[in-house]
């Protein structure tokens, strides 16, 4: 007897009719199929295919038909097969669909939850003591992601001292009990402190206006409660120090402006008539018996901002130093090895940030660097974002984050590895903290989001931490972003 053959309509996005023998499809014929099933449940998937060709059910004939592969059966092929579907395993995500607040790119335009993010929680983390002179708390992050803040408070017995608190993790609260931070030397009259966690202790830098030579840079390290400290006297003084720790806290660096504190205090925020050297200091290991400054280097002779320089630790013993300059923002890439060898640090100038008054920098795991700067003076100031690659070359055009009278103070920037986007915050003239999201390539993701009232703030991990001031007391608040219900 001659073998029997069946004529099958083989279905898919692309039309086509083929003649198959029973043996060619595994010894059975698929008589009927249903549309809209996943690739795993679709009986047509039992018919073998390769590359961008597959079998799907034709709605009219209810027969299997060959065509362009569409694994989620949403009518849009995957991008690798010429379609617009960026997620061909989920029928809810495809080109032309509607964006939903689910942390996914539903519309396949490269943006996640654009225009949908808001504040889902705003809670007080910690009540600080009453603030003392020059109270400008600074937030930093340690390797574990805990946020810590340092500030000056009035000592109960007179004078002033440093206080530091942990704002993240499972143990928010004072790093050390009592008013003083690391020691009870209230006579040093500290100002402008910064702190970072070092193993099981902490490191702090500050301007010592008494006890050491006036205007000296002070630094202290503590591991397990045992503190060591030192002061470095400078020709002019110290203003606005910034701290970074390298190699698991084996080395600490401080960037600051070499100018007397009193002279810095006499300047207005937009005073461009004065300049001072930008200095970088290397401090010996916190675990050494004695703390000392092993080297200092002038990076620039003529620069001054009334905001701290930016200092960012990178991998492999490298870090970045950034400071406003007349023609833009200057960035130095420094390695610990080159610094010890007294080599000149290479410098780049970021164009598009002319007349910058402040600078903040952050990096993502790819080594790309975001530079955010407050540019110009009221009423014509703006906040701008520049994105650089790992060699500090521009990736895209400079973006304006916000302009005009909506800006009131220095912005912050962080990379959200969870959302794969840049987060930029600033304080508006109405004392309202604002946030705006930017894609990895610097395109804006919707309008600004109002966070909370505040006077000082910075970003930590996925959520900004906002520092609010009320009646002379600093209240630390944690703001979480998400999809408001």
User: How many C-beta neighbours within 10 Å does residue 41 have?
Assistant: 10
| Sign (positive or negative) of CA dihedral 102, 103, 106, 112 | positive
3-class SS of residue 132: coil
Residue in 442, 258, 252 with CA at minimum distance from that of residue 352: 442
pLDDT at 414 over 50: yes
- Please compute the mean of the pLDDT values over residues 286-306 and round it to a whole number: 70
- Joined tokens for residue 481: 């972003």
Confidence tier at 13 by pLDDT (50, 70, 90): very low
pLDDT at 23 over 50: no
Q: Can you tell me which residue has the tokens 């790119």?
A: 105
| Sign (positive or negative) of CA dihedral 260, 265, 267, 272 | positive
Please report the pLDDT score of residue 369 as a whole number.
95
Q: In what order do the strands lie in the sheet with 293-303?
A: 239-246, 251-257, 276-283, 293-303
pLDDT at 278 over 70: yes
List, for residues 450-485, the tens digit of each pLDDT value: 876 665 566 665 566 666 554 455 667 777 777 766
Q: How many helices (H) and strands (E) in the chain?
A: 2, 32
- Please compute the mean of the pLDDT values over residues 281-298 and round it to a whole number: 67
List the Cα angle 214/224/194 in 5-degree steps.
Answer: 35
pLDDT at 133 over 70: no
Dihedral angle over CA of 346, 351, 357, 362, nearest 10: -60
State the Cα–Cα distance between residues 338 and 391, nearest whole angstrom. Answer: 17
Please report the pLDDT score of residue 248 as a whole number.
58
Q: Are 257 and 263 in contact (CB under 8 A)?
A: no
- Joined tokens for residue 38: 């996943």
List the Cα angle 241/243/244 in 5-degree steps.
Answer: 155
- Please compute the mean of the pLDDT values over residues 342-353 and round it to a whole number: 84
Helix (H) or strand (E) holding 261: helix 261-265
Please report the pLDDT score of residue 27 as a whole number.
28
Helix (H) or strand (E) holding 207: strand 201-208
pLDDT at 406 over 80: no
DSSP per-residue letters across 364-406 = -TTS-EEEEEEES-TTS-EEEEEEE-TTS-B-SPPEEEEEGGG
In sequence order, the 6+-apart residues with CB closer than 8 A to the CB of 441 are 110, 387, 395, 396
- Mean pLDDT is highest, among 69-83, 185-199, 300-314, 317-331, for 317-331
168 or 245, which is more confident? 245
**Full 3-state SS string of 86-143:** CCCCCCCCCCCCCCCCCCCCCCCCCCCCCCCCEEEEEEEEEEEEEECCCCCCEEEECC
List the Cα angle 20/22/27 in 5-degree steps.
Answer: 140
Please report the pLDDT score of residue 485 as a whole number.
62
User: Dihedrals φ, ψ of 46, to 5°?
Assistant: -70, -15
Q: Can you give the pTM of this predicted structure?
A: 0.73
State the Cα–Cα distance between residues 187 and 268, nearest whole angstrom. Answer: 28
Please report the pLDDT score of residue 38 as a whole number.
60
Eight-class DSSP state of 176: S
Q: How many CA atoms lie within 13 A of 85 on its CB side?
A: 21
Please report the pLDDT score of residue 104 as a whole number.
76
Residue 397 C-alpha from the chain's centroid: 19
Helix (H) or strand (E) holding 350: strand 347-350
pLDDT at 386 over 90: yes
State the Cα–Cα distance between residues 344 and 186, nearest whole angstrom. Answer: 38
List, for residues 92-111, the tens digit of each pLDDT value: 777 777 777 777 777 777 77
- Please compute the mean of the pLDDT values over residues 374-403 and round it to a whole number: 89
Please report the pLDDT score of residue 15 as a whole number.
33
Q: Are 211 and 235 in contact (CB under 8 A)?
A: no
Q: Can you tell me which residue has the tokens 């946020």?
A: 147
In sequence order, the 6+-apart residues with CB closer than 8 A to the CB of 159 are 186, 187, 189
Strand partners, 203: 196, 221
Q: Are 359 and 373 in contact (CB under 8 A)?
A: yes
Strand partners, 218: 206, 231
Return the CATH fold of 132-350: Neuraminidase (2.120.10)
Please report the pLDDT score of residue 18 as a whole number.
34
State the Cα–Cα distance between residues 304 and 261, nearest whole angstrom. Answer: 12
| Count of all residues that appear for the chain in the document | 485
Q: Are 32 and 40 in contact (CB under 8 A)?
A: no
Eight-class DSSP state of 211: S
- Please compute the mean of the pLDDT values over residues 236-263 and round it to a whole number: 76
């Amino acid at each position: 007897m001659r073998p029997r053959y069946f004529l099958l309509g083989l279905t898919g996005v692309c039309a086509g009719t083929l003649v198959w023998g029973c043996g060619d499809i595994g010894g059975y014929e698929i008589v009927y199929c249903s549309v809209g099933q996943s690739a795993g449940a679709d009986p047509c998937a039992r018919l073998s295919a390769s590359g961008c060709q597959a079998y799907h059910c034709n709605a009219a004939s209810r027969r299997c038909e060959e065509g362009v592969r569409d694994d989620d059966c949403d009518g849009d092929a995957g991008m690798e097969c010429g379609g617009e579907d960026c997620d061909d395993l989920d029928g809810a995500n495809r080109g032309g669909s509607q964006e939903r607040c689910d942390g996914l790119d539903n519309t396949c335009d490269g943006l996640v939850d654009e225009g949908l993010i808001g504040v889902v929680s705003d809670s007080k983390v910690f009540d600080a003591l009453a603030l003392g002179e020059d109270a400008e708390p600074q937030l930093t992050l340690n390797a574990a992601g805990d946020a810590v803040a340092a500030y000056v408070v009035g000592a109960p017995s007179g004078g002033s001292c440093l206080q530091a608190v942990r704002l993240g993790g499972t143990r928010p609260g004072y790093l050390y009990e009592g008013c003083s931070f690391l020691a009870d030397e209230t006579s040093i009259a500290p100002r402008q402190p910064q702190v970072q966690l070092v193993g099981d202790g902490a490191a702090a830098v500050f301007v010592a206006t008494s006890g050491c030579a006036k205007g000296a840079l002070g630094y202290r390290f503590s591991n397990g409660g045992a503190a060591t400290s030192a002061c470095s006297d400078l020709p002019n003084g110290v203003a606005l120090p910034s701290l970074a720790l390298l190699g698991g806290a084996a080395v600490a660096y401080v960037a600051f402006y070499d100018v007397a504190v009193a002279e810095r205090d006499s300047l207005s925020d937009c005073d461009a008539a004065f300049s001072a050297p930008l200095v970088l200091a290397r401090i010996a290991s916190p675990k050494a018996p004695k703390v000392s400054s092993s080297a200092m280097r002038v990076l620039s002779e003529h620069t001054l901002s009334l905001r701290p320089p930016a200092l960012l630790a990178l991998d492999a013993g490298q870090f970045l130093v950034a400071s406003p300059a007349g023609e833009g923002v200057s960035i130095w890439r420094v390695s610990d090895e080159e610094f010890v060898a007294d080599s000149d640090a290479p410098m780049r100038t970021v164009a598009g940030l002319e007349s910058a008054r402040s600078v903040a920098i952050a990096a993502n795991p790819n080594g790309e660097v975001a530079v955010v700067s407050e540019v110009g003076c009221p009423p014509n100031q703006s906040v701008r974002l520049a994105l650089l690659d790992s060699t500090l070359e521009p990736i895209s055009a400079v973006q304006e984050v916000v302009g005009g009278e909506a800006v009131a103070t220095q912005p912050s920037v962080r990379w959200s590895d969870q959302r794969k986007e840049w987060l930029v915050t600033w304080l508006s003239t109405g004392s309202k903290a604002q946030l705006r999201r930017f894609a990895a390539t610097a395109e804006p993701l919707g309008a600004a989001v109002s966070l909370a009232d505040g006077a000082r703030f910075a970003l930590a991990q996925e959520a900004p931490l906002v520092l609010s001031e009320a009646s002379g007391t600093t209240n630390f608040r944690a703001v979480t972003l998400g999809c408001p219900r």
